[in-house]
Amino acid sequence: MNKRNALLSTHPAVIAVWAALIAVVTLVPAFPIIGTGATFSVSAALVPLAGILFGPIPGAICAAIGAFIGQLIAPHTVFFGPLTFLIPTLNALCAGFAMRKKWYVPLAVTVLFSAAWFIFPLGRAAWFQPIIWSLGVIASLVGWFVASDWIGSDNRAQVFVGVFLAALSGTIVDHSFGSTWALVMFQLPREVWLAVLALAPVERLLFSLGAAIVGTPLLIGLPKIGVFVGQKMVEEDDLD
């Protein structure tokens, strides 16, 4: 694989369209973020797909552009100021590495944020919060040892599960990064974290399910019209 293909294997126009879609869908709210006055948007389901469809680096660039524009047109989603877009960028990056069969990347990042959580006194008081992130650990391990090739499979059910696992690994990294940032920035007390304990896993599972519902037909259909994405893109590059 040459260096150009390794960086950007899909036409920039396709990535630009996906970035625009992320930006526009940011206007559609999904869940409130307790304690911040902001909301998650439906774009949370599209962000990990940027990495899954285009790879870690192009996907991260796509998510960064889309999220940055999105926070300009939908300021109600901005809860960390102008750098908020870094959270979905890391999401897409890690989901992209999962697509590339490097499941250890989202696994390591999730473990890193879990360890960082306990550095802070408020984090130790809300010791239960990293339990949510075990979903990402499980998704990464299952993807690594069972479903590593499934995103590039011709079996629709396997593609669906593979995308769900990669998206979940990315969205949990997103959640662990955002939660740790919120812990430091807002000094949220134990009671707030306890209030969202039941909601957070549900929203992350729903975002990942949405990513699988949207991503599965794209991963199966786009290569049939000559637009190679996901693991099909990697296989095509390896032939060059």
Residue type, 109: V
Tell me which range, 6-20, 33-47, 186-200, is most confidently predicted by mean pLDDT. Answer: 186-200
**C-alpha pair distances (Å), 5 with each of 10, 14, 41, 57, 145:** 8, 15, 32, 11, 27
Q: Indicate whether 36 pLDDT > 60.
A: no
At 3 the pLDDT is 44
Cα separation, 56 vs 59, whole angstroms: 5
Q: Which residues contact residue 177 at a Cβ distance below 8 angstroms, ignoring those fewer than 6 apart?
A: 86, 87, 90, 109, 113
Evaluate whether 197 touches 128 at the Cβ level (below 8 Å).
yes
DSSP 33: E
Q: Indicate whether 235 pLDDT > 80.
A: no
At 31 the pLDDT is 55
Dihedrals φ, ψ of 78, to 5°? -90, 110
Domain count for the chain, please give it: 1
Q: How confident is the model at residue 234 (pLDDT cuts 50, 70, 90)?
A: confident
- Between 211 and 29, the more confident residue is 211
Q: Indicate whether 39 pLDDT > 70.
A: no
Q: Indicate whether 53 pLDDT > 50.
A: yes
Question: What pTM was computed for the model?
Answer: 0.90
Dihedrals φ, ψ of 120, to 5°? -95, 140
Q: How confident is the model at residue 184 (pLDDT cuts 50, 70, 90)?
A: very high
Please report, for the domain that includes residue 103, its CATH number.
Answer: 1.10.1760
Q: Indicate whether 12 pLDDT > 90.
A: no
Q: How confident is the model at residue 30 (pLDDT cuts 50, 70, 90)?
A: low
Q: How confident is the model at residue 218 (pLDDT cuts 50, 70, 90)?
A: very high
Task: For residue 187, give its domain range.
Answer: 3-239
Q: How confident is the model at residue 78 (pLDDT cuts 50, 70, 90)?
A: confident
Average pLDDT score over residue span 36-47: 71
